[in-house]
């Protein structure tokens, strides 16, 4: 297997099966063999005379060629006693002590098994409202979020990573101001990402500069009015300060709810890419786009659509199998998940692909490519899902879904999601998700302060090919982060090798919107701002995302938190 140094380090530290003394008792090849065998086993459940050995070989090759990798829990747990394979869960939080602490318990079980949880706290009564049984006063959603946060702190995910949470509050909840500012201090509620659930009514009030009503979640009566521009400004200023809160557009999530009869979508998973109904879970997997290129005899690259189609089909087969062999942490989750059988196939290495194609990330050509690639992937994935529905049957709620009578029966309620691929892109040795390259040389800060120094392999390869590579040049790139001002590099290289901070927030959003257009679920994307960006720029970005049809926005202004995962210009 062609596995890099950093990939090996991550696998050894967290993914390979260990004995009771913490020593690795499997090799990287054995890990992929274990996963391939477990996932292929599902074919035998559907059809007793299935040739599972040949399916296993295809899954093994798919992963060891690094063409596709499933989300981390599948790599860690498939074929092992825990057997919990999904990254994404959403749990309901009801407005009673029993329901709140039931959700805390369920979240702890999910975190222990390696999954991340999302919650809407919008049903909880506002701080200060009365509690009938005791005559006391309710402490409100934010105080309960702190309880979830503490519980998460105590539970390590299967001993490997700490649980991640998404906390959402509707913009019309009476405690919205407290929620928007609950992470103003970087040390608070650290195990949560938070997002304000934005409604279209609110956005219209922002645009027309009017007020909007805050609604008591219990009585549904209007508590008071707030100025929409003022609340919007507050969200933007806080996001500018340290990246939180993000926003999600609730009406849009629900317009794409494939089974509206089952209730409303009120939350996503922790990183925002997977909207789910209460108790639904979803397993993700991503195709490495770098491996979907072909090189002609002149050294020019083009997209290999034939290979991409085959890879999509095998990946859909793989992810549908995962639903079947998954050991769900809670019975109710198994029941609800199997009603819609959602899977989330996505991509990684998109930026690296652009480098080989010689297309700058911040160009119309890149946006068009993103859109057409994702259209191709979603259409191919859906066709494969329809094919699987033949022998395996459609997802049980197909008849009441938005697809009924419009498409042929489908095995899976959704097929595509763009995940962050934070760890699996390190394993595949490519750029993460659809993100631009953060810096061409940097120190990556992962897991317990381990630092991974890196020079971008595509840059190195292309500079060597053109006889431009030198140690001195690499050091210079490491110091500056960006190539934009390195005069000794030819213009075409400086134009193509753009990094996150060379790219305007508008270009970030345009790329997110291009992928969103053909993604069933949502797109994980961080819009990077320079340290000296103005609050107004963040505001403009949020409005543009709204206009372009994104389902949410996450921003990050460089240097706005004490510790960040990626740092420019800190290579040793």
Please identify, using beta-carbon distances, which residue of 176 and 434 lies nearer to ligand UDP. 434
How far apart CA 550 and CA 528 sit, in angstroms, is 16
- Smallest CA-to-CA distance from 341 within 276, 274, 406, 282 is with 282
Chain Cα centroid distance, residue 497: 24
**Dihedral sign from CA coordinates of 353, 356, 360, 364:** negative
96 burial (CB, 10 Å; 0-12 / 13-18 / 19+) is middle
Closest distance between ligand UDP and the C-beta of residue 290, in Å?
16
Closest distance between ligand UDP and the C-beta of residue 148, in Å?
14
Closest distance between ligand UDP and the C-beta of residue 427, in Å?
8
How far apart CA 212 and CA 209 sit, in angstroms, is 10
Residue 317 near residue 384 (C-beta atoms within 8 A): yes
Closest distance between ligand UDP and the C-beta of residue 160, in Å?
9
544 Cβ contact list (under 8 Å, min separation 6): 506, 509
- Smallest CA-to-CA distance from 538 within 558, 561, 522, 519 is with 558
For residue 525, CA distances in Å to 129, 236, 487, 491 come to 37, 17, 31, 28
How far apart CA 55 and CA 318 sit, in angstroms, is 9
Tally of residues, the chain: 572
Reduced 3-state DSSP string for 47-71: CCCCCHHHHHHHHHHHHHCCCEEEC
Catalytic-role residue among 149, 165, 269, 567: 269
Residue 435 near residue 526 (C-beta atoms within 8 A): yes
Closest distance between ligand UDP and the C-beta of residue 120, in Å?
15
For the question of residue 271 being annotated catalytic, the response is: yes
Interface residue list for ligand UDP (CB under 6 A): 71-72, 87-88, 115-116, 161, 164, 269-271, 273, 284, 419-424
Catalytic-role residue among 271, 282, 499, 550: 271
Closest distance between ligand UDP and the C-beta of residue 116, in Å?
2
Q: Which two tokens stand for residue 96?
A: 């009673």
Q: Which residue is nearest to ligand UDP (CB)?
A: 116
Please identify, using beta-carbon distances, which residue of 157 and 401 lies nearer to ligand UDP. 157
**Beta strands 281-288; 88-91: pairing state:** antiparallel
H or E element in which residue 444 lies: strand 441-446
Which single residue is written with the structure tokens 């292309």?
462
- Smallest CA-to-CA distance from 46 within 312, 340, 389 is with 389
Please identify, using beta-carbon distances, which residue of 71 and 539 lies nearer to ligand UDP. 71
Closest distance between ligand UDP and the C-beta of residue 115, in Å?
6
Please identify, using beta-carbon distances, which residue of 10 and 496 lies nearer to ligand UDP. 10
For the question of residue 572 being annotated catalytic, the response is: no
Catalytic-role residue among 56, 226, 273, 537: 273
For the question of residue 412 being annotated catalytic, the response is: no
Please identify, using beta-carbon distances, which residue of 489 and 550 lies nearer to ligand UDP. 550
Please identify, using beta-carbon distances, which residue of 161 and 183 lies nearer to ligand UDP. 161
Q: Which two tokens stand for residue 83?
A: 């057997």
| Residue 225 neighbours by CB distance under 10 Å | 12
Which single residue is written with the structure tokens 């050995």?
53
**Beta strands 552-557; 88-91: pairing state:** unpaired
Closest distance between ligand UDP and the C-beta of residue 275, in Å?
12
Chain Cα centroid distance, residue 572: 30
Instruction: Mark 373-402 as b/e (b = at least 16 C-beta within 10 Å).
Output: bbebbbebbbbbbbbbbeebebbebbeebe
Closest distance between ligand UDP and the C-beta of residue 177, in Å?
27
**Beta strands 441-446; 566-568: pairing state:** antiparallel
Please identify, using beta-carbon distances, which residue of 259 and 424 lies nearer to ligand UDP. 424
Please identify, using beta-carbon distances, which residue of 84 and 456 lies nearer to ligand UDP. 84
Which single residue is written with the structure tokens 């919008």?
122
Closest distance between ligand UDP and the C-beta of residue 503, in Å?
21
Please identify, using beta-carbon distances, which residue of 291 and 421 lies nearer to ligand UDP. 421
Please identify, using beta-carbon distances, which residue of 423 and 512 lies nearer to ligand UDP. 423
Residue 253 near residue 268 (C-beta atoms within 8 A): yes
Supply the residues annotated as catalytic: 269, 271, 273
């Amino acid at each position: 297997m062609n596995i890099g140094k950093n990939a090996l380090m991550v696998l050894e530290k967290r993914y390979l099966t260990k004995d009771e003394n913490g020593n690795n008792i499997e090799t990287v090849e054995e890990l992929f063999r274990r996963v391939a065998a477990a996932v292929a086993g599902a074919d035998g459940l559907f059809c007793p005379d299935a040739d599972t050995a040949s399916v296993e070989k295809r899954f093994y090759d798919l992963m060891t060629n690094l063409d596709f990798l499933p989300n981390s829990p599948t790599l860690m747990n498939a074929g092992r006693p825990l057997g919990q394979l999904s990254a994404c869960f959403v749990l309901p939080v009801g407005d009673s002590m029993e329901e709140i602490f039931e959700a805390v318990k369920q979240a702890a079980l999910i975190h222990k098994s390696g999954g991340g949880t999302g919650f809407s706290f919008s049903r909880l009564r506002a701080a200060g409202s009365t509690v009938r049984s005791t005559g006391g006063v309710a402490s409100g959603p934010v105080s309960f979020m702190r309880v979830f946060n503490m519980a998460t702190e105590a539970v390590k995910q299967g001993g490997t990573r700490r649980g991640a949470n998404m906390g959402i509050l509707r913009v019309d909840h009476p405690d919205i101001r407290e929620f928007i500012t609950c992470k103003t201090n970087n040390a608070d509620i650290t195990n949560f990402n938070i997002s304000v659930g934005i409604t279209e009514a609110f956005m219209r009030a922002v645009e027309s500069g009017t007020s909007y009503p805050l609604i008591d979640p219990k009585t549904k009566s209007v508590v008071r009015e707030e100025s929409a521009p003022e609340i919007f400004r507050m969200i933007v200023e806080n996001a500018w300060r340290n990246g939180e809160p993000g926003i999600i557009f609730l009406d849009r999530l629900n317009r794409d709810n494939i089974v509206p009869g089952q209730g409303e979508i009120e939350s996503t998973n922790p990183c925002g890419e997977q909207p789910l109904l209460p108790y639904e879970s979803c397993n993700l997997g991503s195709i490495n786009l770098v491996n979907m290129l072909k090189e002609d005899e002149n050294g020019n690259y083009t997209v290999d659509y034939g290979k991409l189609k085959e890879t999509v089909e095998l990946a859909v087969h793989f992810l549908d199998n995962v639903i079947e062999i998954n050991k769900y942490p809670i019975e109710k989750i198994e029941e609800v998940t199997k009603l819609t059988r959602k899977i989330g196939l996505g991509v990684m290495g998109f930026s690296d692909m652009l480098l080989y194609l010689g297309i700058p990330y911040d160009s119309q050509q890149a946006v068009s490519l993103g859109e057409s690639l994702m259209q191709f992937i979603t259409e191919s994935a859906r066709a494969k899902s329809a094919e699987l529905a033949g022998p395996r049957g459609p997802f049980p709620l197909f008849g009441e879904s938005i697809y009924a009578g419009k498409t042929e029966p489908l095995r899976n309620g959704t097929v595509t999601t763009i995940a962050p691929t934070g760890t699996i892109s390190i394993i595949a040795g490519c750029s993460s998700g659809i993100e631009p390259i953060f810096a061409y040389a940097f120190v990556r800060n992962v897991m317990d302060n381990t630092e991974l120094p890196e020079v971008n392999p595509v840059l190195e390869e292309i500079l060597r090919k053109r006889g431009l590579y030198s140690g001195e040049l690499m050091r210079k790139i490491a110091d500056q982060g960006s190539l934009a001002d390195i005069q000794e590099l030819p213009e075409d290289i400086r134009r193509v090798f753009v990094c996150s901070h060379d790219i305007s927030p508008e270009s970030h959003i345009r790329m997110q919107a291009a992928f969103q257009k053909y993604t069933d679920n949502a797109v994980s994307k961080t819009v990077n701002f320079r340290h000296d960006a103005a609050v107004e720029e963040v505001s403009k970005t949020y409005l543009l995302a709204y206009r372009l049809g994104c389902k949410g926005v996450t921003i990050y202004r460089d240097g706005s938190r004490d510790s960040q995962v990626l740092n420019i210009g800190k290579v040793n």
